[in-house]
Structures are given as structure tokens and as C-alpha cells.
Amino acid sequence: MPRLPYVPGFARPVAEGESRRAGKAAGKALRERVPRSAHADWKAGAGRPGAVDSVEAANAGRLPGLTPIRVGRMAASPFAFLRGSAALMGYDLADSAVTGVGAQLCGDAHAANFGLYGDARGELVIDLNDFDETLHGPWEWDVKRLAASLVLAGREAGADESACRAAARDAVGSYRHTMRLLARMPATSAWNAIADEELVSHADARRLLGTLERVAEKARRNTSARFAAKATERDGEGGRRFVDAPPVLRRVPDREAAAVAGALGEYLTTLPQDLLPLLARHEIQDVAFRVVGTGSVGLRSYVVLLLDHRGEALVLQVKEARSSVLLPYAQKAGFTEPPAGHEGRRVVLGQKSMQVVSDVLLGWTTVEGRPYQVRQFRNRKGSVDPAALAPDEIDDYGRMTGALLARAHAHSADPLLIGGYCGKGEELDEAVASFAVTYADRTEADHAELLAAVRSRRVAAETGV
């Protein structure tokens, strides 16, 4: 048979004597340069920013009136502090062992950033679900952030130290097993592998079944229509409008609302053409400002109320997108990528790159010169609070999230290469577990520093919001 020409976008032809499984051998060879045991090593450098300095730096550019809410949320616990300090951990990871193998990162893969959400037909799927910091970077950074977060969540849940370390170790083990499984599968099968109904058995997470069933039951009720029923009132003209509920939800001036609503025209151009008739059947009714989660508090974020011909509500979230806080640290680690161009587009494409199923209405736009991402609000979302799990469930949760993270990374990175590096043994699992415990201890010290600053009124904090 004549040799066909190479077509860009497909794999290069395998030369005579080479193997299509060369990635596995390259992964094994990488252990010589970066031993798996090296991932255990980390200590704070002399120039490391203090916890308060890091929080204040991250507050730059946010709405000043909302930063006390962010500080108050981070001060709630060491796990909450970690959730809000992705930039500080990025600084730390840039000084740790780096394999040089890249993947599309979540960028903030802590244990609370996995959850349930609805697909196009309303069925529930479970996956990573927070992507504000997503970018191309070292795959192990997501793994280490997940492992450290599990130790902190376990401690908050009352698990003993051996159980917390085991959760971190077994999350890495599940990541490694899953990556190796994906490497052995045909590429098309691996792309959609680990169907959600099989995830619990794959990760040996059966003790989570009851918790997941309760979360799923609640998620099915968590819809735009239900939110709108609570957050809006009739406007006297046959429509509805948002009701002030400060400081979380507040009405905005007409000019600001018009700017957000007008930006949805650009948003439509980022959606697949077949979805445009769906949105054409909805009328824009109202816009309000709504405070979002710990890491994003202080960014500009709006909810837009749409009504169809029956008065049924669809709510979109229009959320400011800034440059990933990990970008300078990924560059320091040797990862460079073309400028994002539009930060909302970066977030959307990163999410679609990692998830098997993404929100069909995911898109981006620009409001008064600032980039935003747009998505459905309350799209049957549900999440497990890892810090509220029973001590005997945290390990199961670690294995489940480790498997999901491997599946997400395998969409952009060669599972043969990462699986070859990870190997069959537990050396990587133990090394990252050691890192996780060390980093959890450091995070507890950082949290204590923030608490002291709040108590001395050096930093303003608003709690209970």
C-alpha cells in the first residue's frame, strides 16, 4: 500500500521501527529527569508573599465594597483559605518539581470544584465545574491542589490525620489508575470514558452513594425557574424584575443594565447556530448584580432574567473574566501559550476542553471593554461539600475526584505519556500525599495569619455572607 501524505491536525505517520506507544516509553524516561519522589519536596521560599499580602494583591481590581466578603469567606477555615488563594499556590508550585508535560488545567482543582450539573436534556452529569483559572500548564499542579485540599477538607470534617493523608494518596492513585486505563483504550473510547453511572464503581467510592443521591435530588430542583421564583417579583406590566437582597443580589442602574443586556448580542455570535432559535424565543426582562463564590467575590457578575412565551424563566450569568492567576507561574515553569485574546473565550474553551459534557449555552461577551463569560445560572447544579463528609467518606471522595481529573486531563494530554510517567507502583501517590500534608500545614499557618489580621482590623472582613 502506498504511504499516504501527512495531514496536519492528525498524528504523524509512525516511522519504520517506531511504536505507536512511544509516549509510554517517553513517560518512563521522564522519571530519570524528574523522579516521582521529587513531588514530595516543597518548602516556602524566602521571598514567598505573606498570606495577607497575597490576599490584598488578589483584591486589586475587584470592587472594593465586596472585598470584605471575600476576606470573610477565606477566614472561615483553612480549607476556605485555600479555595481563595489559587495565586499563592501557583507561586508555590512554580518552585516545586515540574515534569514539563502540559495539559489543559482547571487551575483551581480543589475538592469543592467538582459537582453535578444538567446536560442539554436535563440529565445530571458529574465533573469539574469551575474554570476561571484554566490554562495550559503542568498537569501535576491540578493533582497537587486536589490532594492538598482533601487533607484540609478532611481535617475540617474531623477525620484523623491518617485518613486525611490516605484521601490525598488515594486521589493520586485513582488519577494514576484512570490515566493508565485511558492509555490502554482506543482513543475514541477513552475520550468519553467513565460514564457517570460507572464512576462510583470505577473509583470504588460506594460509601458516597447516599451522599451523591441526596445531592442529585437537590440538584434536580436547582433550576433557573426556581431561582427566579424566589428572586423576582411581578413588575406590574406583565413581566418580572429582580428584588434587592443585599449584599448578594442588588438591582443596577438602567445604564448598567442596558450595557449588560446589549452585550448579549455579541454573546449570541459565540454560540452554535442551532441554538439561536432557542434564545430567540426568550425576551430579556431584567439585569441584576449578584455576588459569586469565594475566589471570584469582587469581580463584576450579573444575572440576566429571560422569559419565554409562557413566562417560564431562563437565567444567564454574565461573569467578569480576568487573566488566569496562574499565568505568570506557568510561564516561569516554561509553559507559554499565545495570548488569550479574550479572557471569557479562554474560560469557555478551557471548560469545553476538559468536560465530556458542557453547558450548551456557554459563551462569552464584552461589557464596557471588559471580557465576560456567559453561562446558564442554576443549571441543576449540585455539589458535595467535602468538609462536611463523614470521615469514612473522604477517601471515597478523593478517589472519585482523582478519576474525574484524569479524565479531564486526558482530553488535552497524551494519557500514554502521563500514564507512563505515573507507572504501576505507588511512588507518585506517596510523594504527592507527603506534599499535600506539608502544604496543608502551610495553609493552616497562612489562614492563622489572615485571622490575626482580621482581628487586629488590618484587613476588613464581613462574615456570614
pLDDT tens-digit series, residues 346-384: 999 999 999 989 999 999 999 999 999 999 999 899 999
Report the range out of 174-178, 289-293, 378-382 with the highest average pLDDT.
174-178
pLDDT of 464 reads 78
Question: What pLDDT, on a 0 to 100 scale, did the predictor assign at position 344?
Answer: 97
Average pLDDT, the chain: 93
127: confidence class by pLDDT, cuts 50, 70, 90 = very high
Q: Are 286 and 242 in contact (CB under 8 A)?
A: yes
Q: Which ranges of 3-117 does DSSP label H, i.e. alpha helix? A: 22-33, 51-59, 67-74, 78-83, 86-93
Q: Is the pTM of this model over 0.85?
A: yes
Flag whether pLDDT at 16 surpasses 60: no
pLDDT of amino acid 194:
66
Express each pLDDT in 326-349 by its tens digit: 999 999 999 987 777 899 999 999
**First-to-last CA distance in the chain?**
69
DSSP reduced 3-state for 189 = helix
Q: How many CA atoms lie within 13 A of 37 on its CB side?
A: 1
**Cell (9 digits) for 207:** 460509601
pLDDT of residue 202: 81
Q: Is the peptide bond before 247 cis (omega within 30 degrees of 0)?
A: yes
Task: Give residues with Cβ within 8 angstroms of 249, minimum separation 6.
Answer: 231, 242, 243, 288, 289, 290, 291, 303
What pLDDT was estimated at residue 239?
Answer: 87
Given this model, what pLDDT does residue 3 score?
75
Query: Grid coordinates standing for 44?
Result: 516556602
Helix then strand count (H, E) for the chain reads 18, 13
C-alpha cell at 134: 484554566
Residue 337's pLDDT is: 77
Q: What average pLDDT score do residues 165-186 get?
A: 95
pLDDT at 18 over 90: no
Q: What percent of the chain has pLDDT over 90?
A: 81
Range name among 20-24, 150-154, 265-269 with the lowest pLDDT average: 20-24
434: enclosing H helix or E strand:
helix 427-455
